[in-house]
């Protein structure tokens, strides 16, 4: 219902930065999203094209950034956008990662790294140790390596690529298993492709470790009404996108398996 954050604000893209061959970061000003917390997302209206959910990657003095991978019409359109383009913003929506102290581990895959970078920045000063494991297909697609390297002070950043062009040649889950067995973590955060999230959830469950994972589902309203984004009894847009291990347990039969398609039928993730 009428809330300030759900009203569309038109704003200009003030900066576009290329992060990788498939990912660009777009920065715009927005007062409300400027107060967003890591894990929250915006609905970005691309007039005449689409309106899509995007995680907030950074907020800085009223400047808000999102990192977008070109995968279809809307995101490809964004990749052709230049500074000065008008977009509409609703949000911030959803919950956020709960800050943890002690030793924390972040595991990111693909653009899932974006909200975790935002989280890492926020946690870095507050945690005893901050480790980051990032995976990608190939070197060029490893996002934010320099930024993460700075935050994790070198040896706590592990990168993996499937083709071995950088870091370890394996899936992100491989070094993770070793890490989890070797070190004690007070909290693990993850965001990325759902099959990866699911695997990580299984690994933390086995070891009885706490986890917060950010999920993606088809979003329309963004405010918990339309039901497009549900997983089990939860609305990803409103109860999520960040879910705890306990909540993930409740939706284990859907996690990494099925979601609702545009027509509301269950389709494979």
Ligand X SMILES: Cc1cc2nc3c(=O)[nH]c(=O)nc-3n(C[C@H](O)[C@H](O)[C@H](O)COP(=O)(O)OP(=O)(O)OC[C@H]3O[C@@H](n4cnc5c(N)ncnc54)[C@H](O)[C@@H]3O)c2cc1C
Ligand Y SMILES: Cc1cc2nc3c(=O)[nH]c(=O)nc-3n(C[C@H](O)[C@H](O)[C@H](O)COP(=O)(O)O)c2cc1C
Compute the distance between CA of residue 153 and CA of residue 184 in angstroms, rounded to an integer.
19
DSSP 183: S
Q: Please, which residue, 71 or 225, has the CB nearer to ligand Y?
A: 225
Q: Which two tokens stand for residue 56?
A: 């907030």
Does residue 7 touch ligand Y according to CB under 6 A?
no
Close Cβ partners of 74 (under 8 Å, ≥ 6 residues apart): 46, 49, 50, 52
Q: Which is nearer to ligand X, 71 or 83 (CB)?
A: 71
Which residue minimizes CB distance to ligand X?
72
Residue 252 is a binding residue for another protein (CB under 8 A): no
* Interacting partner of 171 out of ligand Y, another protein, ligand X, none (Cβ under 5 to 8 A depending on kind): none
Rounded least distance, CB 67 to ligand FES, Å: 21
CA distance 124 to 178: 23
**Residue list 118-147, contact with another protein (CB under 8 A):** none
DSSP state letters, 8-64: -EEEEEEEEEE-SSSEEEEEEE-TTGGG--TT-EEEEEETTTEEEEEE--EEETTEE
Q: Which residue, 1 or 246, has its beta carbon nearer to ligand Y?
A: 1
- CB-count burial class (<10 Å; 0-12, 13-18, 19+) for 18: exposed
Mark the segment that binds another protein (CB under 8 A) among 62-70, 113-121, 195-203, 219-227. 219-227
Q: Are 109 and 57 in contact (CB under 8 A)?
A: no
Residue 85 or 127: which CB sits closer to ligand X? 85
Q: What does the H/E/C string look like for 104-151?
A: EEEEEEHHHHHHHHHHHHHHHCCCCEEEEEEEECCHHHCCCHHHHHHH
Q: Which of 2, 84, 154, 268 binds another protein (CB under 8 A)?
A: 2
Q: Is 221 in the site for another protein (CB under 8 A)?
A: yes
Of 217, 223, 248, 256, the one binding ligand X (CB under 6 A) is 217
Tell me whether residue 121 or residue 259 sits nearer to ligand FES (CB atom).
259
- Quick one: which segment of 66-74, 129-137, 171-179, 243-251 binds ligand X (CB under 6 A)? 66-74
CA gap 97, 234 in Å, rounded: 16
Instruction: Assess contact for 67 and 79: CB atoms under 8 A.
Output: no
Report 226-255 residues binding ligand Y (CB under 6 A): 226
Binding to ligand FES in span 200-239, by CB under 6 A:
219-222, 224-229, 235, 237
User: Residue 264 binds which one of ligand X, another protein, ligand FES, none, with CB within 5 to 8 A depending on kind?
Assistant: another protein
Minimum CB–partner distance for residue 184 and ligand X (Å):
30
d(CA 69, CA 269): 18
- Binding region for another protein (CB under 8 A): 1-3, 6-8, 10, 43, 45, 47-48, 50-52, 86, 88, 90, 220-228, 230, 232-233, 235, 238, 260-265
């Amino acid at each position: 219902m009428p809330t300030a954050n759900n009203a569309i604000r038109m704003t200009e893209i003030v900066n576009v930065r290329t992060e990788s061959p498939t990912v660009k970061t777009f920065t715009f000003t927005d007062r409300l999203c400027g107060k967003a917390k890591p894990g929250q997302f915006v609905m970005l209206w691309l007039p005449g094209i689409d309106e899509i959910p995007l995680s907030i990657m950074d907020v800085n003095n009223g400047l808000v950034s999102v990192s977008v991978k070109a995968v279809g019409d809307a995101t490809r359109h964004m990749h052709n956008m230049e500074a000065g383009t008008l977009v509409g913003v609703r949000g911030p929506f959803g919950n956020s990662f709960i800050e943890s102290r002690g030793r924390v581990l972040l595991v990111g895959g693909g653009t899932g790294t974006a909200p975790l970078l935002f989280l890492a920045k926020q946690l870095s000063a507050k945690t005893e140790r901050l480790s980051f494991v990032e995976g990608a297909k190939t070197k060029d697609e490893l996002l934010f390596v320099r930024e993460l390297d700075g935050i994790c002070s070198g040896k706590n950043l592990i990168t993996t690529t499937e083709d071995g062009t950088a870091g370890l040649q394996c899936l992100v889950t491989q070094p993770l298993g070793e890490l989890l067995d070797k070190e004690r973590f007070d909290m693990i955060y993850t965001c990325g492709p759902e099959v990866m999230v699911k695997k990580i959830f299984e690994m933390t469950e086995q070891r009885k470790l706490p986890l917060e994972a950010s999920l993606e589902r088809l979003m329309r309203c963004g405010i918990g009404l339309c039901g497009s984004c549900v997983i089990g009894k939860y609305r990803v847009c409103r109860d999520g996108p960040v879910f705890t291990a306990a909540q993930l347990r409740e939706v284990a039969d859907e996690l990494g398996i099925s979601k609702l398609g545009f027509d509301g039928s269950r389709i494979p993730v």
